Structure 1
Amino acid sequence: WTGRERDAVLADTAPHHVVGTDGRAATADGGARTPGLFLLPTTSGSTGVPTVLARDRRSWRIGFDILGALPGPVLVPGPPSSTLYLFGALHALHHGLGLVTRGRLDPTDLPDGGSVHLVPAQLSALLDERERRPGGPAPRVVVCGGAHVAPGMRERVARLLPGTTLLEYYGSAEHSLIATRRDDGPLRPVEDVHLTVRDDVLWVDSPQSVHGRFIRGALLPAGPGPTTVGDRAELTDDGGLTVLGRAATTISSGGTLVAAEEVEQVLRGVAGVGDVVVAGTPHASLGMVVTAVVEARDGVPDRRALRAAARAGLSPA
């Protein structure tokens, strides 16, 4: 966090005590407490400062049981300041599994026959390493969250890690687990989560939802019923879910609306791609042209492979 972000979070949470990383504690003029809350996750706000949410233990325990026990030991290669890695670590402890934590992913740390929690960029790095050096330890389950896993990456998992189950989940800080997918199956809502789509926007009614948000030391409760984080989505006739990204990341190019996240998902599946950011850049006739900035791993990815993936996985726009 920047100083501005930290000050904003402390103003909204109004804590009784602040303990710095240097071990020094300061007493603050804390506001009213709400019993039962154990975690205040933050999300990026549209004003440029984090939004402080309020979660109780029960809401996460529901998710622990929905995800179920995994083969142990479980590797969590990321900082617990991220709720994705914190969830993975507490999930393992909840089910009595052996837990290994690391600050970053090292393929030599992979638990042979166990499980690992990853984000798609880490999964891509793992698959690149497996292509360069076949063999070595392989987890029985890869749990992947934080962003959509492109079909091309799922194909690489099946090819390079044939004995590994890919368990992908879609969720949010506000709703925790919303839907899961195993290997190449459809993305489906988890138990007791009810989804509706209104004007192409996904609304979620879930017992895992946060209690509300903190503003200036006071809890602003979330109202009853479904809420949304603004994700665009489609529901299939058989109950499957397709997430299309946030409306705010839509690029208007030549009269066609292009979801930036859909382009990112396709290009992330190309070997050698560390990560991708897609945005619109000005164009004389199209208004905006869809532009991908590719972070390379081990040199520049093959441009022909990038273009082939785009042609195969995306519309001409």
Structure 2
Amino acid sequence: MPQPMPQLDLATLHEAIAAAVPDRECVVWRDGRRTWAEVAERTRRLAHVLHAHGLGVRGKAAHPWESPHDHLALYLHNGPEYLEGLLGAHKARVAPFNVNYRYVDDELAQLFGDARPRAILYHACFAPVIARVAQRLDRPPLLLQVRDGSGTPLAPGALDYETALAEAPATPLDGVHPDPGDLHILYTGGTTGLPKGVLWRIGDLMTGPLGLARRDGTPITDLDEAVERARRARQRVLVGPPLMHGGGTWSALGAWCGGACVVFPGRVDGLDAADLVATAARERVTRMPVVGDAFARPILAELERGGVELPELRTLLNSAAAISTDVKRRLLERLPHARIVDVLGSSESGFQVTRRGAADGPFVPTPDARVLSADRTRRLSPGEDELGWLAKTGTIPLGYLGDPERTAATFRTVDGERVVIAGDRARLLADGTVEVHGREATTINTGGEKVFAEEVEGVLRNLPGVLDALVVGRPSERWGTEIVAVLRVAGDRDGDGPDDAELRAGCARHLARYKIPKAFARTRRSLRLPNGKADYAAARALAADA
């Protein structure tokens, strides 16, 4: 197991910032405003609740895929309680993990069977499914139910969250000392198989994806330096993407690590662009994470509708999906004081490459990013004309919970460096920039040629009248697999938007002939999951009927 460098932990840093700026706003949602001191106290109380029920850390792990902690499941919509759950767990040395709130009983039971939660923090609206699934677990977990206005009664045996906090001490836990080596578990979305629990040391997570670093990229490991940086900060970060996925959690916790206030839009069970933009204006937010066109297009429509200004907004941080070039250009026209930063990474790697501005050019690698050869045995040099694999070294996870085989396959040693290879294909160009071709899982082999779905999708989304596009493979007698594009087009009537000939002509200006879709399916439905990522399962079902 790698030897970690000196680092900070989330619980200690948050307490120190709260002591330095106790009355500054820490989290805002609707009419609720909690200061740093208030959040620090509430999370101490939650740590006491967990500790009183026997949860904590039990020795040390013998292997990188093992967790010595008890686990807290977070089955919540966005809101202050989600962040309190993350922070309170770390104060009790309990490992928190995310739960996709769209899961039905069997999916939830599979996830809990893998993660083995000793406690579940959930919104009241999920009480019926929690009551059913909890009966299927080997050991009954502690249930903490958060009121959400649904009026759903407590699940059998559950504790009301606010009542439990009110009855717990507000002091720090005696004899419990959070450590940078404590685990934070991030479950993948399951787009390439069953969800996998990625085991991050919280110290690595902070100096990696959470951005606890200086401007030159070197990590901040001194508590006084981190607190002074937070004391000077005045950022306000509006988090619209779900915290149940890595990008949302990293945006929120990264904001806290820098002393920023986290703001949530009023609606948290789905995207409401009008609400999002109005909240950004009212709360004078300075940074907003988005997820591709699924967020960018509705935000742009609200800005072009007029009546709302965002003069404080400086950064739109885009991850997990692409924003079309035209949408970027129009956003920057409406927000001339802001910048758009594209970041690409994964649950296993954090951010690996970045790109700024409206152009869809190559990415700039982070200092720890690597491009490996196709056989994954060596590091490529700039200009080698080989399609390889995007990888990352430095602050990376330990492995996958309970899975030594996948841990060994994904976390490898290449040229003396421990690296993670999450599955993105890439080419290292002569000037040191990186041309990203997309996930191997979305690569389509048609007639002996490999086609990267994301490349074709990018072209289609930039064609007039196309609002969104996903590209999938469909069985074909002639090609083995043929390419099918599933489109959401502008207009409300059948026949609106470009016809097939116009789409093929538009593709032909940018793509080789074998990459042009053989068929086009159209839908009025969104092609995105709640986190903005592509819903390839729905696209494949539509393509099969086209």
Name the counterpart of 1:57.
202
Q: Partners of 2:510 and 2:433 in 1: how far apart?
A: 20
Name the counterpart of 1:85.
248
Give, in angstroms, the shift of residue 36 of structure 1: 2.8
CA shift digits 1:133-191 (9 cap, x unpaired): 48633532100001234444433434443332001100100001111112146411113
Larger gyration radius, structure 1 or structure 2: 2
Matching residue within 254, 270, 275 for 2:468: 275
Name the counterpart of 1:75.
238
Name the counterpart of 2:393.
206
The answer for unaligned runs of 5 or more in structure 1 is: none
Give, in angstroms, the shift of residue 48 of structure 1: 4.4
For these two proteins, the number of residue pairs brought into alignment is 313
* Kept after mapping to 2: 8 A contact 1:5/1:50: no
Cα distance change on mapping 1:192 and 1:232 into 2, 3 Å: closer
Of 41-50 and 8-17, more deviation after overlay is shown by 41-50
Q: Partners of 1:67 and 1:265 in 2: how far apart?
A: 34
Q: Which amino acid aligns with 1:310?
A: C
The answer for unaligned runs of 5 or more in structure 2 is: 1-102, 142-178, 216-228, 376-386, 515-546
Q: Partners of 1:130 and 1:306 in 2: how far apart?
A: 28
Name the counterpart of 2:297.
124
Aligned alpha-carbon RMSD (Å): 3.6
Q: Partners of 1:136 and 1:174 in 2: how far apart?
A: 37
Does 2:315 correspond to 1:141?
yes
Give, in angstroms, the shift of residue 129 of structure 1: 3.5
Q: Partners of 2:471 and 2:369 in 1: how far apart?
A: 31
Written as runs of structure 1 = structure 2, the 5 A alignment for 1:163-242 is 163-183=337-357, 184=359, 186-199=362-375, 200-215=387-402, 222-224=411-413, 225-242=418-435
Q: Partners of 2:212 and 2:202 in 1: how far apart?
A: 13
* Kept after mapping to 1: 8 A contact 2:390/2:426: no
Q: Partners of 1:269 and 1:161 in 2: how far apart?
A: 20
Matching residue within 295, 298, 302 for 2:488: 295
Q: Partners of 1:204 and 1:192 in 2: how far apart?
A: 9
Instruction: Using CA pairs under 8 Å that are at least 6 residues apart, name the structure with larger relative contact order, 1 or 2.
Output: 1
Give, in angstroms, the shift of residue 114 of structure 1: 1.7
Hey, which of these two has a bigger chunk of helix by percent? Answer: 2
Name the counterpart of 2:279.
109
Q: Partners of 2:337 and 2:189 in 1: how far apart?
A: 37
Hey, which of these two has a bigger chunk of strand by percent? Answer: 1
Moved over 6 A (4+): 23-27, 67-71
* Kept after mapping to 1: 8 A contact 2:238/2:285: no
Does 2:429 correspond to 1:249?
no
Q: Partners of 1:92 and 1:310 in 2: how far apart?
A: 40
Q: Partners of 1:312 and 1:148 in 2: how far apart?
A: 20
Of 49-58 and 125-134, more deviation after overlay is shown by 125-134
